[in-house]
Amino acid sequence: MDSLLNSIFSEAFLSPIWVSLKIAIIAGIIVILIGTVAARFFARKQFRGKAVIETLLMLPMVLPPTVVGFFLIVIFGKNSWAGQAITWLFDRPIIFTWWAAVIAAIVVAFPLMYQSAKSGFLAMDRDIENAARVDGASEWKIFFFISIPLASKALISGSILSFARALGEFGATLMFAGNIPGETQTLPIAIYIAIDSGNMVMAWLWVIAIVTLSFLMLLAVRVKE
Partner 1 sequence: MANLKLQQLTKVYNKNEIAVKDFNLDIKDKEFIVFVGPSGCGKSTILRMVAGLEDITHGELFIDNQKMNDVSSKDRDIAMVFQNYALYPHMTVYQNMAFGLKMRKQTKTEIERRVNEAAAILGLKPFLHRKPAALSGGQRQRVALGRAIVRDANVFLMDEPLSSLDAKLRVQMRSEIISLHSRLQTTTIYVTHDQTEAMTMATRLVVLNHGQIQQIGTPKEVYEQPVNVFVAGFIGSPAMNFFSGSLTASGLKIGDQYIPIPAGLLPQNSSQDIIIGVRPEDMYIESATPMFHTEIEAVELLGADTMINAGLGDQPFTARIPSSIAIEPGQTLPLSIHLNRMLFFDSQSKNRIF
**Binder among 12, 14, 53, 128 for partner 1 (CB under 8 A):** 128
We find the least distance from the C-beta atom of residue 123 to partner 1, in angstroms, to be: 12
- The answer to whether 137 touches 131, Cβ cutoff 8 Å, is no
Name which of 46 and 79 has its Cβ closer to partner 1.
46
Contact region with partner 1 (CB under 8 A), list: 51-59, 85-93, 125-133, 194-202? 125-133
In 3-state terms the chain splits into helix, strand, coil percentages (rounded to 5) of: 80, 0, 20
Contact region with partner 1 (CB under 8 A), list: 20-28, 73-81, 94-102, 124-132? 124-132
75 binds partner 1 (CB under 8 A): no
DSSP state string for 103-149:
HHHHHHHHHHHHHHHHHHHHHS-HHHHHHHHHTT--HHHHIIIIIHH
50 binds partner 1 (CB under 8 A): no
What is the total count of residues that contact partner 1 (CB under 8 A)?
17
182 binds partner 1 (CB under 8 A): no
We find the least distance from the C-beta atom of residue 131 to partner 1, in angstroms, to be: 4
- Residues 133-152, interacting with partner 1 (CB under 8 A): 133-138, 141, 145-146, 149-150
- Residues 1-30, interacting with partner 1 (CB under 8 A): none
- Residues 148-177, interacting with partner 1 (CB under 8 A): 149-150
Q: Which phi-psi region, left, alpha or beta, contains residue 152 (left: φ > 0; alpha: ψ -120 to 50)? A: alpha
Which residues, at least 6 apart from 89, have a Cβ–Cβ distance to it below 8 Å?
none
CA distances from 16 to 22, 37, 110, 117, 149 (A): 10, 31, 23, 30, 35
Contact region with partner 1 (CB under 8 A), list: 75-83, 130-138, 156-164, 170-178? 130-138
Name which of 72 and 117 has its Cβ closer to partner 1.
117
We find the least distance from the C-beta atom of residue 31 to partner 1, in angstroms, to be: 25
Sort 9 into a burial class: Cβ within 10 Å, 0-12 / 13-18 / 19+: exposed
CA distances from 71 to 63, 68, 123, 188 (A): 11, 5, 34, 21
Binding site for partner 1 (CB under 8 A): 125, 127-128, 130-138, 141, 145-146, 149-150
